[in-house]
Every structure is written in structure tokens, then in C-alpha cells.
């Protein structure tokens, strides 16, 4: 799979194809090692992708816990279960605060 086209859904789909091929016995002994290696690489990539998404969500939720004054607005205490009103403030004023997909290299091998 090419780097720019790999998505989480495509990686999971390819993993399902590999598992099905292994379970049905359509993979030859010559292809077996390559299929297993590709599967391991895809699982590793998916785990990294999930972790990056988890960090991004945690960062966004932590930003909600900050008083509005820390984000450039008036101070309003947050109450449990209350959704803060949007004031047009950018939660990620520093672009480096947002977690992107940098460093998430997709697997390069294919069977």
C-alpha cells in the first residue's frame, strides 16, 4: 500500500484479507511468511494511529477544562456535564499542540 493512500479503514480491511487467506488456506507456504510480516506491520501501524488519535482527543478534552481566560476569553467556571459555549477561540493556538500523523509510517511490504 502506498503511504499517501493508507487509512485506518484500509489497513483493517487488508488485515481482514490476510487473516481470511490464512484461515482458508489459500496462502501458499511461500507466501506465508510475507503475509504474516505484512500483518504484523499493519497491526503496528494501526496501534500507532490509534494512539495518535487518543492523544489528540485527550489534548482537546484537556483544552476544554482550561478556564476561558487561558484561551483568551472571559473566565467562566465549567460545570459538570456543561458544554462550553464556542467563543471562536482556537483550542490549538500553537500548531505544535495538535497531534498530526507525522511519524506514522505505513508498512512498506506487500504480499
pLDDT digits (tens, 9 = 90+) for 15-71: 999 999 999 999 999 999 999 999 999 999 999 999 999 999 999 999 998 876 666
Rounded to whole angstroms, the Cα distance separating 106 from 87 reads 38
At residue 101, the pLDDT reads 47
Domain-embedded: residue 70: no
- Retrieve residue 66's grid coordinates: 482550561
State how far the alpha carbon of 49 is from the alpha carbons of 15, 61, 103, in Å. 15, 18, 10
- Regarding pTM above 0.75, the answer is no
Residue by residue, DSSP assigns 43-83 as HHHHHHHHHHHHHHHHHHHHHHHS-GGGGTS------TTPP
Reply yes or no on whether the pLDDT at 2 is more than 70: no
pLDDT digits (tens, 9 = 90+) for 4-13: 689 999 999 9
Domain-embedded: residue 76: no
Domain-embedded: residue 100: no
| Nearest Cα residue to 48 out of 110, 100, 111 | 100
Overall number of domains in the chain: 1
Domain-embedded: residue 81: no
Which domain does 19 fall in, by range? 1-64
At residue 108, the pLDDT reads 66
Domain-embedded: residue 60: yes
Domain-embedded: residue 83: no
At residue 106, the pLDDT reads 65
Domain-embedded: residue 110: no
Amino acid at each position: 500500500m502506498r503511504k499517501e493512500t493508507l487509512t485506518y479503514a484500509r489497513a483493517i480491511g487488508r488485515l481482514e484479507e490476510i487473516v481470511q487467506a490464512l484461515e482458508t488456506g489459500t496462502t501458499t507456504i511461500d507466501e506465508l511468511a510475507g503475509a504474516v510480516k505484512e500483518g504484523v506491520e499493519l497491526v503496528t501501524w494501526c496501534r500507532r494511529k490509534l494512539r495518535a488519535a487518543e492523544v489528540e482527543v485527550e489534548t482537546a478534552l484537556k483544552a476544554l477544562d482550561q478556564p476561558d481566560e487561558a484561551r483568551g476569553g472571559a473566565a467562566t467556571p465549567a460545570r459538570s456535564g456543561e458544554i462550553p459555549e464556542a467563543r471562536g477561540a482556537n483550542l490549538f493556538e500553537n500548531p505544535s499542540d495538535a497531534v498530526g500523523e507525522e511519524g506514522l509510517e505505513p508498512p512498506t511490504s506487500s504480499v
